[in-house]
């Protein structure tokens, strides 16, 4: 079909692959239509040939916002084709993005929690207090070991919680539904962390419904903020902003910390779209809300334990990366990492990968490679696709720049693949 962009992107197979965000299919169809090798396509999108091969075979998912942007720009995907893959102006999400795959809810838990389960035991406040403590402990454990070891445990724990519904009486009924909502939100986060988008969307939707049923405005808003985070991860800045704003207006009475999370998510969406002034305005607003939250931490929901000045400094660094202000990104991410406790192993791995990427973009090849190679063992152990893809993106930057450290970094990534 040659190299005419209009002819290429009018092909239904290629347009459908973009609609479904199946980047492996996009690569295969584009190479076939344009007559390119994997190496030539990799040059256009800033990836090495083995990475192109892995994406085509489904061995690696595209979860990095930066990699997605490079693919869009490198292949010249027209805005009309991108718009077809984005949410409509009515706010409805395309059917393809709602298709359940992978470890999605395997039964209708909503029906279970709102119907009577026979022979259930009576539930008391002490039992629910214990489940609150157990969930908090699992959240902390996930910070250290990542999501993979905990998913099955949490799914079984949620089943236990919803089975308690019929045994609850009076105010305990709302407590059980609230507890189910918090479990579903945590399961959604773990699915999102492992790049299982469909499962994450399903669990966030379920958590949101239960939060509304229980009258928990903070959780209802948090689920929308986390869906905004998913939109940001997929490179959809506009949808990220809309969902973040919805988190702010749709659940009145939320805590300053929950409002601050929504504000910083809106800032990230603006930054992703290159709207620097709006991004900085929202970041300043979020910082003010964080200050309010820190004055009365007892008023914040328990799942906001991580939301403090250190975490926010790291978010400023991420926004700077989207705005391609690499020096500011390096300064903020470095400061945040220095203050982040060691028990946040998962987050440290992610932000170190981002730091290595920002350093590479600055031209600090030696330092970038050093940070990346120190992060690779943790990224492999925790098994977080986002960190892994960010490290590969950094290696591609070094390769494009002809840095001598690129081959050593790529070799180490291959060793741990």
- For the chain, the domains span 5-82, 104-215, 343-417
CA dist 330 → 108, 354, 360 (Å): 45, 9, 10
Rounded mean pLDDT, 116-143: 75
- Report how far residue 269's alpha carbon sits from residue 388's, in angstroms, rounded to the nearest whole number: 22
Whole-number pLDDT of residue 101: 32
Query: Do 204 and 188 contact (CB within 8 A), yes or no?
Result: yes
- Report how far residue 164's alpha carbon sits from residue 4's, in angstroms, rounded to the nearest whole number: 61
Whole-number pLDDT of residue 80: 65
Mean pLDDT of the chain: 82
| pLDDT exceeds 50 at position 381 | yes
Using alpha carbons, select from 92, 71, 64, 82 the residue that is nearest to residue 15. 82
Long-range contacts of 22-27 (CB under 8 A, 24+ apart): 23/55, 23/61, 23/62, 23/68, 23/71, 24/55, 24/56, 24/57, 24/58, 26/71, 26/75, 27/52, 27/55, 27/56
Helices (H), 164-275: 172-193, 197-214, 217-233, 237-249, 256-272
Q: What share of the chain is helix, strand, coil (3-state, %, to 5)?
A: 75, 0, 25
Query: Strand, coil or helix: what is 218?
Result: helix
* Range among 43-52, 147-156, 345-354, 406-415 with highest mean pLDDT value: 345-354
More confident site: 415 or 313: 313
- Report how far residue 372's alpha carbon sits from residue 235's, in angstroms, rounded to the nearest whole number: 23
Neighbours of 253 (CB within 10 A): 9
Query: Do 82 and 252 contact (CB within 8 A), yes or no?
Result: no
pLDDT tens by residue, 84-94: 444 433 333 33
Query: Do 18 and 81 contact (CB within 8 A), yes or no?
Result: yes
| pLDDT exceeds 90 at position 18 | no
Whole-number pLDDT of residue 358: 94
Report yes or no on whether pTM surpasses 0.75: no
The H-or-E segment that residue 387 falls in is helix 385-400
Lowest-confidence pick of 22-26, 42-46, 120-124, 405-409: 120-124
Nearest-5° Cα angle at 190, 131 to 256: 70
Instruction: Using the structure block, give the residue that is written with the tokens 């990220």.
Output: 240
Percent of the chain whose predicted confidence (pLDDT) is above 70: 86
Residues whose CB falls within 8 Å of the CB of residue 203, separated by 6 or more in sequence, listed in order: 104, 105, 184, 185, 187, 188, 191
Instruction: Using the structure block, give the residue that is written with the tokens 């900085």.
Output: 280
| pLDDT exceeds 60 at position 100 | no
Where does the pLDDT of residue 82 fall: very low under 50, low under 70, confident under 90, or very high at 90 and above? Answer: low
Where does the pLDDT of residue 219 fall: very low under 50, low under 70, confident under 90, or very high at 90 and above? Answer: very high
Neighbours of 16 (CB within 10 A): 16
| pLDDT exceeds 70 at position 322 | yes
CA dist 411 → 51, 183, 249 (Å): 12, 40, 49
Rounded mean pLDDT, 112-126: 52
Where does the pLDDT of residue 10 fall: very low under 50, low under 70, confident under 90, or very high at 90 and above? Answer: low
Rounded mean pLDDT, 226-251: 92
Rounded mean pLDDT, 69-91: 65
Say how many residues make up the chain.
417
- Report how far residue 371's alpha carbon sits from residue 369's, in angstroms, rounded to the nearest whole number: 6
Where does the pLDDT of residue 27 fall: very low under 50, low under 70, confident under 90, or very high at 90 and above? Answer: very high
Whole-number pLDDT of residue 121: 53
pLDDT tens by residue, 139-167: 888 888 888 888 888 888 888 888 787 77
- Report how far residue 234's alpha carbon sits from residue 237's, in angstroms, rounded to the nearest whole number: 9
Where does the pLDDT of residue 383 fall: very low under 50, low under 70, confident under 90, or very high at 90 and above? Answer: low
Whole-number pLDDT of residue 411: 84
Rounded mean pLDDT, 343-370: 91
CATH 3.40.50.300 fits 5-82, yes or no: no
**Chain centroid, CA 121 distance in Å:** 38
More confident site: 351 or 48: 351
Whole-number pLDDT of residue 109: 42
What separation, in Å, do the N-terminal and C-terminal C-alpha atoms of the chain show?
36
């Amino acid at each position: 079909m040659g190299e005419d962009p209009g002819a290429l992107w009018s092909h239904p197979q290629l347009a459908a692959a973009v609609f479904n965000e199946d980047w492996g299919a996009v690569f295969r169809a584009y190479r076939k239509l344009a007559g390119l090798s994997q190496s030539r396509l990799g040059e256009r999108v800033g990836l090495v040939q083995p990475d192109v091969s892995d994406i085509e075979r489904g061995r690696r998912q595209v979860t990095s916002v930066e990699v997605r942007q490079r693919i869009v720009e490198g292949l010249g995907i027209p805005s009309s084709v991108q718009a077809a893959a984005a949410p409509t102006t009515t706010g409805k999400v395309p059917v393809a993005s709602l298709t359940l795959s992978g470890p999605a809810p395997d039964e209708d838990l909503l029906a279970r929690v709102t119907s009577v389960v026979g022979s259930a035991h009576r539930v008391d406040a002490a039992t629910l207090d214990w489940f609150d403590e157990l969930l908090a402990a699992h959240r902390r454990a996930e910070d250290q070991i990542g999501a993979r070891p905990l998913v099955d445990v949490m799914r079984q724990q949620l089943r236990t919680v919803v089975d308690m519904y019929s045994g609850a009486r009076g105010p305990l009924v709302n407590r059980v539904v609230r507890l189910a909502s918090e479990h579903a939100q945590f399961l959604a986060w773990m699915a999102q962390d492992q790049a299982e988008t469909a499962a994450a969307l399903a669990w966030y939707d379920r958590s949101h419904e239960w939060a509304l049923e229980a009258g928990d405005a903070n959780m209802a808003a948090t689920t929308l903020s986390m869906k905004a985070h998913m939109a940001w991860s997929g490179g959809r800045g506009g949808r990220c902003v809309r969902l973040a704003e919805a988190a702010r207006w749709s659940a009145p009475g939320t805590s300053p910390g929950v409002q601050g999370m929504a504000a910083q998510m809106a800032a990230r969406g603006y930054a992703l779209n290159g709207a620097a002034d709006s991004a900085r305005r929202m970041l300043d607003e979020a910082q003010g809300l964080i200050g309010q939250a820190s004055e009365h931490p007892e008023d914040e929901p328990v799942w906001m334990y991580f939301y403090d000045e250190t975490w926010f400094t790291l978010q400023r660094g991420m926004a700077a990366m989207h705005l391609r202000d690499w020096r500011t990104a390096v300064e903020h991410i470095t400061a945040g990492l220095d203050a982040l406790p060691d028990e946040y192993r998962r987050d440290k791995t992610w932000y170190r990968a981002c730091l290595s990427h920002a350093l590479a973009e600055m031209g600090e090849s030696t330092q970038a490679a050093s940070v990346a190679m120190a992060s690779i063992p943790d990224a492999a152990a925790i098994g977080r696709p986002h960190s892994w893809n960010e490290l590969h993106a950094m290696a591609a930057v070094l390769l494009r720049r002809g840095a001598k450290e690129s081959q050593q970094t790529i070799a180490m990534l291959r060793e741990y693949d």
